[in-house]
Amino acid sequence: MDQKIVFIGAGSMAEAIIAGLTKSDSLAHQRIFVTNKSNQDRLTYLEETYGIKQVNDKDKIISESDIVVLAMKPKDMKDALSSIKSLIHSKQLILSVLAGTSTKAILKEINKKVPIIRVMPNTSALIGESATAISKGKYVEEYHMTIANKLLHTIGKTVTVEEDKMHAVTSISGSGPAYIYYLVEAMQKAAIDAGLEQDIAEQLIKQTIIGVGEMLRTSSEPVHILRENITSPEGTTEAGLNALKKHGFEKAITECVESARKRSLELGEEE
């Protein structure tokens, strides 16, 4: 790819995408720029770690960029756009990773006919394993989607959804890695209570999750069969799963996803 890309916001999501992009080598590192609100050390770290460039001449870099990635928190969107919207033009493609925030709200802020693609990646982009959903805003043509897909393939897998599905997507795959990390933390505590040493527990749990990930990737069996294959009648797994059922595991997951989805809707309404 020969586009020039600028990230507005230099936090964990910007870094995850930059890491995936630079690892894939599909875009010259020198064509990737990043800026943020105030933290100079953070920009220097990104520059030194990934060989990309921090924005020195804001007017020139932003107006010359082909792709502008909005990667600030939703609450900072208006403030961030107020200082750059005069540099945005219709030949550019805007990618927004902002949770909850509609392309309509961003268009209203920019007040120009620019193509905006809403993107929901997750932090596994850091290792090229993001589950990313993308959706079209008003002025987006197919060739914009092709560019976005090509770019986002460098950080993992992509799917295209209607924009109204983005709240649900956020509650599943955007926030999803945190649910799994929380599960790992809970298993680590339980393993120690069960008498294992911490480093042994960590090794076993990490490899268990990696093994499950690979099985999900490679096996043609449906998930419930993979689960049933482990569950001997009256065995240990059945006893463990029964305890999960008794303590409302499914309800907890349903409420977890629903709460995240509602929060995404609220973030959109807070603009």
Ligand X SMILES: NC(=O)C1=CN([C@@H]2O[C@H](COP(=O)(O)OP(=O)(O)OC[C@H]3O[C@@H](n4cnc5c(N)ncnc54)[C@H](O)[C@@H]3O)[C@@H](O)[C@H]2O)C=CC1
Ligand Y SMILES: O=C(O)[C@@H]1CCC=N1
Q: Which is nearer to ligand X, 114 or 264 (CB)?
A: 264
Total residues contacting ligand X by CB under 6 A comes to 25
Provide the sign of the torsion angle of the four alpha carbons 158, 161, 166, 172, taken in this order. negative
Provide the sign of the torsion angle of the four alpha carbons 248, 249, 251, 256, taken in this order. positive
Least distance to ligand X, CB of residue 2, Å? 25
Q: Which does 71 bind (CB under 5 to 8 A by kind): ligand Y, ligand X, none?
A: ligand X
**Strands across the sheet containing 32-35:** 53-54, 32-35, 5-8, 67-70, 93-96, 116-120, 130-136, 156-160
Options 33-41, 167-175, 206-214, 224-232: segment touching ligand Y (CB under 6 A): 167-175
Residue 153 sits at the vertex; the CA angle it makes with 75 and 63, to the nearest 5 degrees, is 55
Among 79, 141, 228, 270, binds ligand X (CB under 6 A): 79
**Tokens describing residue 44:** 């220097």
DSSP letter string over 222-257? -HHHHHHHH--TTSHHHHHHHHHHHTTHHHHHHHHH
Contact between 175 and ligand Y by CB under 6 A: the answer reads yes
Among 170, 205, 261, 268, binds ligand Y (CB under 6 A): 170
Helices (H), 139-218: 142-153, 166-169, 176-193, 198-218
Question: By the 8 A CB rule, do 102 and 41 touch?
Answer: no
Least Cα distance to 51 among 23, 17, 70 occurs for 23
100 annotated to bind ligand: no
Q: Which is nearer to ligand X, 32 or 72 (CB)?
A: 72
71 annotated to bind ligand: yes
Options 148-156, 169-177, 180-188, 219-227: segment touching ligand Y (CB under 6 A): 169-177
Contact between 6 and ligand X by CB under 6 A: the answer reads no
248 annotated to bind ligand: no
Q: Which is nearer to ligand Y, 130 or 175 (CB)?
A: 175
Among 71, 99, 133, 134, binds ligand Y (CB under 6 A): 99
Among 17, 52, 62, 72, binds ligand X (CB under 6 A): 72
Could you give the CA distance from residue 202 to residue 144 in angstroms, rounded to a whole number?
43
Q: Which is nearer to ligand X, 145 or 260 (CB)?
A: 260
Provide the sign of the torsion angle of the four alpha carbons 38, 122, 159, 4, taken in this order. positive
Give the strand pairing for 116-120 and 32-35. Answer: unpaired
Applying CB under 6 A, the residues found at the interface with ligand X are 8-14, 36-37, 39, 71-74, 76, 79-80, 97-99, 120-123, 174
Applying CB under 6 A, the residues found at the interface with ligand Y are 99, 170, 174-175
Annotated binding site for NADP(+): 8-13, 71-74
